Structure 1
Amino acid sequence: MTSAAPARVGVIGAGRMGGGIAQTFAQAGSRVTLVDNGEQAARQGLARITDSLQRAADRGLLSEAAETVAARITPAASLSDLPADTVLVVEAVFEDATLKAGILADVEKTVGPQTLLATNTSSLSVTELAAALDRPERFLGMHFFNPVPASALVELVTAPATARDTLERTLDFVHALGKKDVVVKDSPGFASSRLGVALGLEAIRMVEEGVAEPEAIDDAMTLGYKHPMGPLRLTDLVGLDVRLSIAEYLHATLGERFAPPRLLRDKVARGELGRKSGKGFYTWQ
């Protein structure tokens, strides 16, 4: 049986990750309501998606015109704009547990009883976020990877209260997007962030200790271990501030092996955040 994308999807947060998630569902045929804090922010998010779609079309990566796909996305300024028949809502705001829990609780009060809820978090406890809900059985983690349209993976994170039917329906949606699933039980950092951050932090310590230059460390992993991208270049892409935030959370929950190196803290303090600031472990144009 062929998996089908959900007819209607809500995405909360129109930033890089939320925009990528909205674009991916729209490309699969879903009608998407893209909600952000204010109409201008939502429309700016849609504009970025439209540009991304046009670039994909120019490279021959779309089966439809960019305008056709973009027309499936509706920017919205309020959760009340989510249609009653929304099948799935994916929250994709900043990695702040209090903020996410509050938004998810508000979404639950807005949508219908059959709507599935998901959080796009790379490390926060799905179990703790579920505690904010009246019906946690319809909730799980749906961890997309950046850039979402090009990434092959979605990590699904189940909390103790997540119903089997919720997982199975979400698995169908992931397959309809043309992506591969990895299912893990809720644990700090899940599988991907826990392993990825461990490698990234050790690479930063090697730079800090003068073992090798960033390019050499990255080449060791891309050429020697066939990683598609070295851990330091990936840290620049993700954002040093984001990586520091995740490391601090893992340090608090899993212990000293995730203690952030001083070099990482110093770079974030100087505003060297990676590609988005123009400088991290590399200089970006």
Structure 2
Amino acid sequence: MSDTHPRSLSDTHPRSLSERSETKRPDGAPANVGVLGGGRMGAGIAHAFLLAGSHVCVVERDAASADAAHARIGDSIRRSVERDPSLDETELAGRLTTGKDLASFAAVDLAIEAVPEDRALKDDALARVEAALPEHATLASNTSSISIDDLAAGRLRPERFLGLHFFNPVPASSLVEIVRGTATDAATVESASAWVAALGKTPIVVSDSPGFASSRLGVMLGLEAIRMLEEGVASAADIDAAMTLGYRHPMGPLRTTDVVGLDVRLGIAEELERTLGARFAPPDLLRRMVAEGKLGRKSGEGFYAWNEER
């Protein structure tokens, strides 16, 4: 018996997954979604599917982490209701469950792995998730840089596996990068595109390659901005202003790095350096800041001070 249980924001008890499949929902949205990992990204992904009408189960490594994920998603739901009073907080909360047992994924249509950007960790997570899934389910990784073909090598059904690269913060981002592996079949890509559209986001489909499209371009710009800061070319604010005012980027590369997380950017850069060469070598300043725990917004300090914005 699964130990995953509803930790509802109300006294409403969600129905079983088998009953949920009959729930009326917007066209294109999967009825039941499983998310492994309830950190910032996993919680954001769960929140997006809840708003689209799906029932969502988030699985974490232990009960305390599951409780924290539930609280995190609950806060997001409340903010959504504050922005749009037509939303029903009790109804949204009633479609969320959290726990630590992957057996709760036994009836999901889509499972998304959202663990940290580490190849071995993701391989292990994907294997455990896949073992719990029904045969019809699609399995996705939220990786931002690791090869989908490499991750697909150990999958039981690689034709139903692909990358769904969401962007941080998920609620504010309008893009999802769909990464098609060599073995991914066309029907899986088509379904994923419909699911992303049901979230109110725009899908782009890219073939598997190091860094895909978004990380490869975004990280290159971010690394060069860090090098410029390291060399004393200009201040962080002025480097960012060059891109926001000069090129109409909505956010400068250094502030973006703070939002993404310096540790996340470092991990992606190391993966791209391994696959694409020295042009993606992380600057010493980035390594030093990560070692000092200056990770950006989530730690309160990065290239900017975030204490008042956390």
Q: TM-score range by the shorter chain?
A: over 0.9
Q: What does 1:18-33 correspond to in 2, within 5 Å?
A: 18-33=42-57
1:211 matched residue in structure 2: 233
Taking only aligned residues, the RMSD between alpha carbons, in angstroms, comes to 1.2
Say whether 1:56 aligns with 2:89.
Answer: no
Deviation at 1:39, TM superposition (A): 2.2
Secondary structure of the structure 2 residue equivalent to 1:178? coil
Deviation at 1:67, TM superposition (A): 2.7
Say whether 1:65 aligns with 2:91.
Answer: no
Contact 1:50 / 1:67 at 8 angstroms: preserved in 2?
no
Deviates further, 2-11 or 21-30: 2-11
1:7 matched residue in structure 2: 31
Instruction: Give distance in 2, aligned partners of 1:58 and 1:109.
Output: 39
1:228 matched residue in structure 2: 250
Contact 1:188 / 1:250 at 8 angstroms: preserved in 2?
yes
Q: What residue identity is the alignment partner of 2:155?
A: L
Secondary structure of the structure 1 residue equivalent to 2:172? coil
Say whether 1:185 aligns with 2:170.
Answer: no
1:74 matched residue in structure 2: 97
2:222 matched residue in structure 1: 200
Secondary structure of the structure 1 residue equivalent to 2:50? helix
Instruction: Give distance in 2, aligned partners of 1:176 and 1:55.
Output: 20
1:260 matched residue in structure 2: 282
Deviation at 1:65, TM superposition (A): 2.0
Deviation at 1:66, TM superposition (A): 2.3
Q: Which runs of 4+ in 1 moved over 6 A?
A: none
Structure 1 residue ranges without an equivalent (≥5): none
| 1:87-110 Cα shifts (integer Å, max 9, x gaps) | 100110111111111121122221
Secondary structure of the structure 1 residue equivalent to 2:171? coil
Q: What does 1:118-137 correspond to in 2, within 5 Å?
A: 118-137=140-159
Instruction: Give distance in 2, aligned partners of 1:24 and 1:277.
Output: 24
Contact 1:50 / 1:66 at 8 angstroms: preserved in 2?
no
Of 171, 181, 192, 2:193 maps to 171
Of 117, 124, 139, 2:161 maps to 139
Deviation at 1:80, TM superposition (A): 1.1
Instruction: Give distance in 1, aligned partners of 2:208 and 2:38.
Output: 26
Structure 2 residue ranges without an equivalent (≥5): 1-25
Q: What residue identity is the alignment partner of 2:203?
A: D
Deviates further, 49-58 or 189-198: 49-58
Q: What does 1:35-50 correspond to in 2, within 5 Å?
A: 35-50=59-74
Instruction: Give distance in 2, aligned partners of 1:15 and 1:99.
Output: 15
| 1:80-132 Cα shifts (integer Å, max 9, x gaps) | 122x3311001101111111111211222211110000000110111111011
Instruction: Give distance in 1, aligned partners of 2:219 and 2:225.
Output: 10
1:244 matched residue in structure 2: 266
Deviation at 1:63, TM superposition (A): 3.7
Contact 1:105 / 1:132 at 8 angstroms: preserved in 2?
yes
Contact 1:3 / 1:175 at 8 angstroms: preserved in 2?
no
Q: What residue identity is the alignment partner of 1:8?
A: N
